[in-house]
Amino acid sequence: MKPTLPVGIYGITAEKFSCGRDNREVARAMLAGGIRIIQYREKRPDKTFAAMLDECLAIRALTREAGALFIVNDYPDLAMLVDADGVHVGQDDFPPDKVRKLIGPDKIIGLSTHGPEQELAARKSGADYIGVGPIFATRTKSDVCAPVGFAYLDYVVKNSPLPFVAIGGIKENNIGQVLAHGAKTVCLVTEIVGAKDIAETALRLRRMTDVF
Amino acid sequence: MKPTLPVGIYGITAEKFSCGRDNREVARAMLAGGIRIIQYREKRPDKTFAAMLDECLAIRALTREAGALFIVNDYPDLAMLVDADGVHVGQDDFPPDKVRKLIGPDKIIGLSTHGPEQELAARKSGADYIGVGPIFATRTKSDVCAPVGFAYLDYVVKNSPLPFVAIGGIKENNIGQVLAHGAKTVCLVTEIVGAKDIAETALRLRRMTDVF
């Protein structure tokens, strides 16, 4: 059966910002901190496909043990090889209807969106959830568009039937605003993978999402 | 039924070296020049997956019409989405036995190899053909190893049961040596995609392979 997007904190790997810790270690700490969904997001040439496969196999085992979802960014083949729960794609990647043909009906597909037109297209293309952002400016991704601010988030909260994750430049000091605007699932990348104590930080952030 | 590696010239796309011509146009000219196998080799971030998908759909149609094989480099998912005839991978990519799980028994898998140990591993992993090279120094690929010269080519000709394509720095002025050493399928990238008249150049090179 197709899983649904968990509420709470959405974790994403980012080795570059993980202060020397490898993605397995980061994933383990995220899970210890109560995170219920982890997306693996690494790209060539930073990492080879062979290395990504090894890491994803390890993180798949960890997430399965913890009962958490595991999503692979951009690469449906990698997701299939490790039996991930889904694939996340951007606007310039394979479109959701094509990804669906590869991964089948029981996996979830997330699509990054940056405005109302893309939200509508996401519904039509069979995406199971959408990314909404970047809410704030971010330097974690190099190929990112300008912040959409709260205007698009408010639009989605009001108009979209799709589950969504708010993403982009969200930190401990501004997550309250994002939650106040109606986000139930929130992604913080650098704030978590770069934290001194990842598990403790994830737990603290999770408690903030519980308040709303 | 699984196709076999054609003898003659093995064409590879390389938009960067195609003098402003797009990959569809280059593929069409290659086919007009008698090339029976074309590999699509583009990478992010030079090109998005959405753009690669469009190009591969077009080249799949062209190769099918011409009765030529179409191979996708590195990305099994892309190969599956366009029903390519196979996938080519390098030593740092998804290993052939994993690719096989994705694309099934009727598609062919090529593996780049650079020495006898890798040739042996290729057999064990279920590769259908191997790349042998780089024969000469090349600047077409940035992540390429040192030339293996004729020593490894001679080894493969003498010892390997696998069909192979000789590759790396091969030009019109040195292809004769490669053929004299026993190669039946030869890949030239820049020499073809960068040629003023691609079809005419491919035909002329093809005739050289027929002599041996």
Virtual torsion, Cα A138, A144, A146, A149, nearest 10 deg: -60
Chain-chain contact of B93 with A50 (C-beta, under 8 angstroms): yes
Chain-chain contact of A45 with B95 (C-beta, under 8 angstroms): no
CA dihedral (A149, A150, A153, A155) positive or negative: negative
pLDDT at A212 over 80: no
Q: Given A36, A41, A60, A107, which residue is catalytic?
A: A41
pLDDT at A142 over 90: no
Per-residue pLDDT reduced to its tens digit, A41-95: 999 999 999 999 999 999 999 999 999 999 999 999 999 999 999 999 999 999 9
* Chain A 47-86, residues with CB within 8 Å of chain B CB atoms: 48-51, 53, 74-78, 80-81
Average pLDDT, chain B: 97
Residue A142's alpha-carbon distances to A153, A168, A191, B161, B193, in angstroms, are 22, 12, 17, 46, 31
Per-residue pLDDT reduced to its tens digit, A93-137: 999 999 999 999 999 999 999 999 999 999 999 999 999 999 999
| Nearest CB partner across the interface for A102, out of B43, B81, B91 | B81
Number of H helices, E strands in chain B: 9, 8
Residue A152's alpha-carbon distances to A5, A35, A171, B19, B150, in angstroms, are 20, 25, 19, 42, 60
Q: Which of A42, A55, A77 to mutate to test the interface with B (most CBs of B within 10 A)?
A: A77
Mapped onto helix, strand or coil, the DSSP state of residue B39 is strand
- From A80's Cα to the closest Cα of chain B, the distance in A is 8
pLDDT average, residue stretch B19-38: 98
Chain-chain contact of B77 with A74 (C-beta, under 8 angstroms): no
Cα–Cα distance for residue pair A148/B171, rounded to 1 Å: 51
Chain-chain contact of B50 with A93 (C-beta, under 8 angstroms): yes
Q: Which residues of B touch A43 (CB under 8 A)?
A: 44
Question: In A88-100, which positions are buried (b, 16+ CB within 10 angstroms) versus exposed (e)?
Answer: bbbebbbbbebbb
Cα–Cα distance for residue pair B5/B93, rounded to 1 Å: 21
pLDDT at A27 over 90: yes
A97: left (phi over 0), alpha (psi -120 to 50) or beta: alpha
Per-residue pLDDT reduced to its tens digit, B105-124: 999 999 999 999 999 999 99
Coarse DSSP helix, strand, coil percentages of chain A, rounded to the nearest 5 percent:
40, 15, 40
pLDDT average, residue stretch B170-195: 97
Tell me the pTM. 0.97
| Nearest CB partner across the interface for B95, out of A50, A74, A143 | A50
Task: Give me the pLDDT at residue B8, please.
Answer: 97
Q: Which residues of B touch A96 (CB under 8 A)?
A: none
Half-sphere exposure of B59 (CA within 13 A, CB side): 33
Task: Give me the pLDDT at residue A118, please.
Answer: 98
pLDDT at B196 over 90: yes
* φ and ψ at residue A99, rounded to 5 degrees: -60, -40
B192 in Cβ contact with B162 (< 8 Å): no
pLDDT at B26 over 90: yes
pLDDT band at B139 (very low <50, low <70, confident <90, very high): confident
Task: Give me the pLDDT at residue A58, please.
Answer: 98
Per-residue pLDDT reduced to its tens digit, B40-68: 999 999 999 999 999 999 999 999 999 99
Query: Under 8 Å CB-to-CB from A96, ≥6 apart: which residues?
Result: A89, A109, A111, A122, A125, A126, A127
Q: Which of A94, A102, A109, A112 to mutate to test the interface with B (most CBs of B within 10 A)?
A: A94
Q: Which residues of B touch A49 (CB under 8 A)?
A: 74, 89, 92-94
CATH of domain B8-211: 3.20.20.70
Q: Given A141, A184, A204, A206, which residue is catalytic?
A: A141
Task: Give me the pLDDT at residue A185, please.
Answer: 98
Q: Is A184 a catalytic residue?
A: no
Cα–Cα distance for residue pair A145/A88, rounded to 1 Å: 17
Task: Give me the pLDDT at residue A141, please.
Answer: 82
Chain-chain contact of B77 with A92 (C-beta, under 8 angstroms): no
pLDDT average, residue stretch A147-166: 97
* φ and ψ at residue B39, rounded to 5 degrees: -105, 135
Measured in whole angstroms, the distance separating CA A84 from the mean position of its chain's CA atoms is 13
Q: Is B21 a catalytic residue?
A: no
pLDDT at B212 over 80: no
Task: Give me the pLDDT at residue B145, please.
Answer: 87
Strands A69-73 and A86-89, by their bridges, are: parallel
Q: Is A41 a catalytic residue?
A: yes
> What does DSSP assign to residue B31?
H
pLDDT at B140 over 90: no
pLDDT average, residue stretch B179-207: 98
Measured in whole angstroms, the distance separating CA B177 from the mean position of its chain's CA atoms is 19
pLDDT band at B143 (very low <50, low <70, confident <90, very high): confident
> What does DSSP assign to residue B46?
T
| Nearest CB partner across the interface for A77, out of B50, B51, B77 | B77
Q: Which residues of A touch B78 (CB under 8 A)?
A: 94
pLDDT average, residue stretch A157-176: 97
Question: Quick one: closest CA in A to B53, which residue?
Answer: A94
The percentage of residues in chain B with a pLDDT greater than 70, rounded to a whole number, is 100
